[in-house]
């Protein structure tokens, strides 16, 4: 009974430790697969310049006509796909479930980019904030992307807090690659949205998420400006692998669970060996009692009995 309790408690403890690791790892793998598919699609679109140019032209025209659309914090105000006429037009620009791909190597971010900031979009990748420019570049454009952080099902923008000034972010959209260098990092209140507004003559990419974890009272905002691709290191154009789904903190629960399993296994083995040694052969044991012994104990018992019989036979005086 005691051994069963120890085993059950050990298994439950390991499950509690490993559940977040497995859940987030699986979520990262699934999202990474979508991002990898998007990377392959971008390669195909890039070799079809007519299609690429048509999509980009439509997006630039949209960006030139979005003035006046209010910019709202998506974590305070929700926009649905059944919303305004402007929103329906927005969904038809760069059409499809995924419009592009965002890569921030220093933060281990490699996510598909979707239209809008509905819960479904920002829980499965990065969402583009309606009311800001589409991420196709251009002066006077500030493309704002966001995703959840602190989720129990995927890493998403968890790594945004590790970004530093000077880091590089990449965007792939409609077969086009753009590079941005981080210029500033701010923590603001949800109502302070000035950083999301376009700046004359500047091509800006803004990334933001809720902070701190669990409280979400503020927003962590990373502002990056467009640079030439030749000024940035080559980006990973193939998409993430399963290895990229791992995070450093996942190692600790795995190690703790493994050590706990080894300790319990050694304890159970030692306890069994001790009980085997404490069991001494007894000629008065009944067949029922012998049947309850382990195979090792029975072997020791019969071996001991045979030795005693030989000893008595040898010591018996001859007539």
Catalytic residue annotation: 148, 210
Residues near 204 by beta carbon (within 8 Å), at least 6 away in sequence = 141, 142, 143, 180, 198, 223, 224, 225, 226
Look-up of token digits 């319990």: 264
Question: What are the DSSP calls for 46-64, one per residue?
Answer: HT-HHHHHHHHHHHHHHHT
What burial letters (b/e) apply to 3-18, b meaning 16+ CB within 10 Å?
Answer: eeeeeeebeeebeebb
| 226 contacts 108 by C-beta, under 8 angstroms | no
- Beta-bridge mates of residue 210: 219
Look-up of token digits 């403890």: 13
What burial letters (b/e) apply to 53-72, b meaning 16+ CB within 10 Å?
Answer: eebbebbbebbeebeeeebb
- Distance between alpha carbon 5 and the CA centroid of its chain, in Å? 33
Of the CA atoms within 13 Å of residue 262, those in its CB half-sphere come to: 6
| 225 contacts 183 by C-beta, under 8 angstroms | yes
């Amino acid at each position: 009974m005691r051994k069963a309790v120890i085993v059950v408690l050990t298994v439950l403890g390991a499950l509690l430790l490993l559940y977040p690791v497995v859940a987030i790892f699986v979520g990262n793998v699934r999202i990474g697969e979508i991002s990898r598919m998007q990377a392959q699609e971008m390669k195909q679109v890039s070799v079809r310049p007519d299609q690429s140019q048509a999509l980009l032209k439509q997006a630039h025209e949209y960006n030139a006509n979005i003035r006046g659309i209010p910019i709202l914090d998506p974590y305070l105000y929700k926009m649905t796909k059944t919303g305004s006429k402007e929103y329906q037009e927005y969904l038809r620009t760069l059409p499809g479930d995924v419009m592009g791909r965002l890569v921030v190597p220093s933060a281990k971010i490699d996510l598909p980019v979707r239209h809008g900031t509905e819960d479904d979009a920002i829980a499965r990748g990065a969402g583009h904030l309606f009311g800001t420019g589409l991420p196709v570049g251009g002066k006077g454009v500030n493309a704002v992307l966001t995703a959840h952080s602190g989720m129990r099902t995927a890493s998403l923008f968890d790594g945004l807090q590790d970004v530093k000034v000077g880091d590089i972010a990449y965007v792939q959209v409609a077969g086009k690659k753009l590079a941005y260098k981080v210029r500033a990092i701010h923590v603001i209140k949800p109502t302070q949205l000035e950083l999301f507004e376009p700046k004359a003559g500047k091509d800006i990419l803004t990334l933001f998420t809720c902070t701190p974890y669990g409280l979400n009272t503020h927003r962590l905002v990373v502002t990056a400006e467009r640079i030439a691709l030749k000024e940035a290191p080559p980006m990973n154009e193939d998409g993430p692998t399963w290895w990229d789904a791992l995070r450093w903190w996942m190692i600790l629960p795995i190690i703790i669970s493994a050590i706990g399993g080894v300790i319990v296994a050694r304890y159970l083995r030692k306890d069994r060996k001790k009980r085997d040694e404490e069991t001494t052969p007894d000629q008065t044991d009944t067949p029922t009692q012998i049947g309850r012994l382990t195979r090792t104990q029975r072997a020791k018992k019969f071996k001991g009995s045979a030795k005693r019989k030989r000893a008595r036979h040898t010591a018996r005086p001859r007539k």
